[in-house]
Chains A and B, each alone.
Chain A
Amino acid sequence: MSEDNLSGSKTAENRRNFLKKLAVFAGSSGVLASMPWWSPLRADPPGSSAMDRVRLGVIGVGSRGRKLMLHLMQTPGVEIAAVCDDYEPHYKRAIEESGGKAKAFYDYRELLEMKDLDGVVIGAPLFEHARMCIDSLKAGKHVFCEKSLAYNFEECAGIVRAYRESGKIFQIGYQRLYSLPFLKAKEYIDSGAIGKITQIRTCWHRNNDWRRPIPGPEWERKINWRLYREYSCGLMTELASHHLQVVNWVLDAHPISAVGYGSVNHWKDGRELYDSVNVVYKYPDGVNVIFDSLISNRRYGMEIQIMGPEGTIEAEKGKIYSEHPPAPPAIVRLINELERDILDSVPIGGPSWAPDLETDSKGKWLVPGWSGEETAIQLSAFAAAIREGKPIPNMMKHAYEGGVAALMGQFAMEQGREIKWPQVEGLQI
């Protein structure tokens, strides 16, 4: 099966066929060597018997949590057995959208008391992650938690400890771990196609206020929690975390330290968290990683530019560019040369100087035709891992290192100093 065939799957039946294709693909040694967390997907799609069914509860069904729930409803062998949210409109919507079959709760601790629940999917705000994850693992539930892992270093370590003690399955919402273009990018990097990585530049730019509509001012902090420090670390945990996980993965390392600046320079509406951030991470072997994000201009969108002396990978775009692209045919070069001689002006600095503008190489697609099914694949992997009863390899490492790296950036900006990787004694990641 070619990688191209893995794109596109909308209905439940299509998804079952899609999983069949995935099982073959995930079973190949190349995939498992680079992405061992794909191993649960080697299993054939589940049948319709009760034994094959994984019963899940969704905690936090607002924006992202709702999307996860809808995805899970399309995932073969998954039953949404419970939903939980302490915000009435989301609570009611979840009951309705789950077809009224799921038990509904306002308090996640009551949901965890359900004996016939295999696992939980946590889509709650960042500040809730640690206690929800730890309580769920202690209650014997498998956990899928949305990124970023937790609100501070101690909480991140606490989740790791609870995970180790529980022996349960843990999955984090880093979809790029299940993206074929990212897999291909990693393969190119490992094969030396771009040479040794010398710098990575990542950005995530949007142009909106990042607000959600609220029924009244008393709901501001509850609904727009991403804007307030008490609940979130803003752009770092909500956006940068994704890219930092990719960086850790491709460099096979975590950052040594971070420095940065952040500000609220556009959306001065009472928010506490930055709307513009610039962070530089120091990695081993002299590699620096730059992350910048703002929500007042979307010209450059989001990208991860992985650069080496032989080439560049733009992972979000899904393209690879060689530093030495093959020359165009001779006749085209001759015509271009004539055009330049006739039409080009001579720069003031003299004919030997030309500005170092971006090269216009068109590059090559990492996976042609990829349309993105990462969340579906990821949730299928979570369900398959529960069915198999085996942990997902390396998943907690990605969750912890990505989450901590995001926090380092936030703390560096807030404290105006270099933040080093936290050394936590006896922590087995």
Chain B
Amino acid sequence: MKDVNIVLKGSNIKLEITVFLGCLLFAFLVNIYAILKFGSPWYEVVTSLHYVLGLTVAAYVVIGILRLIVQLLKLVFNRVKRRTLDEST
């Protein structure tokens, strides 16, 4: 079996943290919007933090799947493009 070395660069980690923080901000804002919409008490900003965290993880997973699909499409597109160039030369 072929060995595969996965190298996690600092820039990758930074990107993932940024995406996760973006999701956290999104979930936090959703909670604020819900509190305003239903006229709920403001202490729910704190008491609903576990829901916010849950929504963050869910959003991160969804975005992760979307990014994976984009990467796969890019890969396929590049292969097709390369094959076309090879055939034309």
Contact = CB atoms under 8 A, between A and B. Distances in A.
Co-complex (A, B): yes
Interface of A: 327, 329-335
B38 interface: yes
A334 B44 contact: no
Contacts of A331: 30-31, 34-35, 44, 48, 51-52, 55
A406 to B, nearest CB: 50
Task: Sort chain B's interface into a size bin.
Answer: 10 to 19
Contacts of B71: none
A335 B31 CA distance: 10
Interface of B: 30-31, 33-35, 37-38, 40, 44, 47-48, 51-52, 55
A188 to B, nearest CB: 26
**Chain A contact residues, majority secondary structure:** helix
Nearest to A332: B51
7 closest residue pairs by CB, A with B = A330-B34, A330-B40, A334-B34, A330-B38, A329-B48, A330-B35, A331-B31
The residue among A327, A330, A334, A335 with the most chain B CB atoms within 10 A of its own CB is A330
B48 A334 contact: no
Nearest to B55: A331
Contacts of A327: 38, 40
15 contacts: A327-B40, A329-B34, A329-B40, A329-B47, A329-B48, A329-B51, A330-B37, A330-B38, A330-B40, A331-B30, A331-B31, A331-B48, A333-B34, A333-B38, A334-B34
B23 to A, nearest CB: 14
Contacts of A333: 34, 38, 40
B45 to A, nearest CB: 10
Contacts of B44: 329-331
Contacts of B40: 327, 329-330, 333
Contacts of B52: 331
A174 B1 CA distance: 75
Contacts of A335: 55
Contacts of B38: 327, 330, 333-334
Contacts of B31: 330-331
A318 to B, nearest CB: 28
- Residue among B30, B35, B38, B44 with the most chain A CB within 10 A? B38
Nearest to B39: A330
Nearest to B38: A330
A334 B55 CA distance: 12
A335 B33 CA distance: 12
A422 to B, nearest CB: 56
Nearest to A333: B38
A329 B34 CA distance: 9
B60 to A, nearest CB: 16
A331 B48 CA distance: 8
Contact of B33 (A329, A332, A334): A334
Contacts of B33: 334
A325 to B, nearest CB: 15
B30 A334 contact: yes
Contacts of B51: 329, 331-332
A310 B51 CA distance: 30
Contacts of A330: 31, 34-35, 37-38, 40, 44, 48
Counting chain B CB atoms within 10 Å of each CB, which of A327, A331, A333, A335 scores highest? A331
A342 to B, nearest CB: 15
A335 B51 CA distance: 10
Nearest to B36: A330
Highest count of chain A CB atoms <10 Å: which of B31, B51, B52, B55: B51
B52 to A, nearest CB: 7
A17 to B, nearest CB: 40
B50 to A, nearest CB: 10
B26 to A, nearest CB: 12
A306 B44 CA distance: 34
A332 B44 CA distance: 11
